[in-house]
A and B are shown apart, each in its own frame.
Chain A
């Protein structure tokens, strides 16, 4: 080795800030902090309105005396077909689940297709059949739709938008603002399956075991929970941004803290291993058939029993509680006994270099 340098700390500086992004980046759709900022600082001021300000998965509106849940979502998943599902059933189940998180049983869906010129008709047909089957399974009718075609190179084959409405039962009022310290946090099952399943096929990664998406409609599970008590405080489906984003959104909106018992979160081995290989945190990985519930302590056992009796809630588990301390923040107690903040993800999770 040649002569060793001496180091001058006085000059040590590092990079320039990226205060504002003049253009949309992928992270703006990642379900994390960038997405939230886009909605809060750009869309919400432009649109105004009290209903939008609720910022739930679905809007709760009153129309002609009926309390309705109303939601829309767009699906740009790649590849179109993946282990455990496809863009079709994802588009149906995603919107059904958004409505279910307001306590509503989805009644009608709309469906908008943006098709890329050149996509095979058999692929479109397969997606349509899958949507029909998912709708029938969820007990919902696709009532209206629209089709547009864009030129080759302007889409990823098929994009689907669905919107849906459903009736919110009397006495049900699911909002993050209802969360109070002492509420028990329950997750309906094993997390991370959808995100890892998509990654495994999108990136050609193989983890030694088959991992299937958990894509499913949660209306029935929510009904089973509401049959125990209508006094659930909030439900959230932890899709993009995962459980971490869902808990952070609830903590921020409710002004309560959340303590998560890391060791209690059900994480399947293949998901844990895939995340370990890629340097990802399963808490941030997307799910498409799970929910997170904040339940008053006195109802928690009964709700948990009801969830476990339902096929989509067999692995339901208590993973934490709402607390007075550290309002708006989610803190995990680690398996070893330490603590850490579980933050809202910034944008999309990025695999680490090593």
Chain B
């Protein structure tokens, strides 16, 4: 089984790095959209090996980080109910809501279970007809289709005690919002390869043309990242702004039609709040009317949620690429993985956690006097 080594080969990496070094003539700022890419970059020290002129800005593509506090609090409330079995992917359990997390709910007697597939949650629902089984449906275009399929299955099989707490988000509207921000420094994007493997590349040419930014569909292993950077830098140096596929082994231009069909059947596009960022129009999915009985928010009246966020956390700016994690005053001091202020420090894909875990030895916290550390406030928008 050689799926990994060949994409981490040091010799091939060196050649790609040499090529990037030879190509770059001036500074460029690239955003890797996905938290998985951030993780690879920091874990393998790729940012240390790139030319100084190539700055990698970490984007909002961590599903754990961007799930709004309000939804987490709804999850905590639902999971606390005695008649509920609450199922979730593992990394959501540690994300703090207002004052507690799902681990804590479990320690207080809540039936919170880690599953590896939403279908496992459906199985639990069949095995526990006297309980309400809720699956925490978060994530991007990658996790949305299997979650959609699970709801589809539940309806088809008449499993009425299964519902989905939905907080799915879509990448292209987030890119649009980032590019529209006056503080934006991003000149090119490494698009998330797994998102494109589902959705295809059709959503990107318009974005690339409208904002004159190259968008390179990029994978997740070290060589994938370097290849993506190379494509983006080449385009920038030539003054081009097209969509490249540097992840052709996984991404077809049309994506996965079956997955897209499933999404269209079960979900409908909606405005969605991104934690730390605010509401981005059309950036999410919710269950469509036909599947409303499987919508946990509809089934459980989780109202009167009062969220409370610490003022010193700047993860919203980190998620937008406006500051680096160590440019937050709380980084490594009042905010660590042990005592996280924000989801970007909790999630294993979060940029703050990646910086703290892998890079804190050579990082000096940068204070607010840094010119980038306090970007000019933008016009008002709803913040959730």
Chain A residues within CB distance 8 Å of chain B:
1-19, 21-27, 33, 203-205, 208-209, 263, 269-270, 272-273, 276, 278-279, 326, 329, 331, 334-341, 343, 346-347, 350-354
Contacts and interface: CB of A to CB of B under 8 A. Distances in A.
Contacts of A22: 104
Given A13-B310, A336-B222, A353-B139, 4 more contacts: A6-B380, A7-B181, A14-B69, A343-B357
B357 A341 contact: yes
A218 to B, nearest CB: 28
Contacts of B314: 12-13
The 9 closest A-B pairs by CB, nearest first: A338-B45, A12-B316, A14-B342, A350-B90, A340-B358, A13-B309, A23-B107, A10-B377, A11-B383
Contacts of A5: 177, 180, 278-281, 381-382
Contact of B316 (A14, A26, A273, A278): A14
Contact of B315 (A14, A19, A33): A14
A224 to B, nearest CB: 32
B296 to A, nearest CB: 18
B89 to A, nearest CB: 4
A5 B274 CA distance: 12
A18 to B, nearest CB: 5
Nearest to B103: A25
Interface string B31-62: 00000100000111111110000000000000
A14 B317 contact: no
A1 B281 contact: yes
B205 interface: no
Interface in B56-111: 63-64, 69, 72, 89-101, 103-104, 106-108
Nearest to A208: B1
Interface of A is mostly: loop
B317 A12 contact: yes
B381 A352 contact: no
A337 B48 CA distance: 9
Contacts of A12: 276-278, 314-317, 383
Contacts of A278: 116
A120 B91 CA distance: 35
Given A5-B278, A11-B383, A338 B348 contact: no
A259 to B, nearest CB: 11
A343 B348 CA distance: 13
A279 B40 CA distance: 11
B378 A18 contact: no
A208 B177 CA distance: 42
B48 A338 contact: yes
B375 interface: yes
Contacts of A203: 116
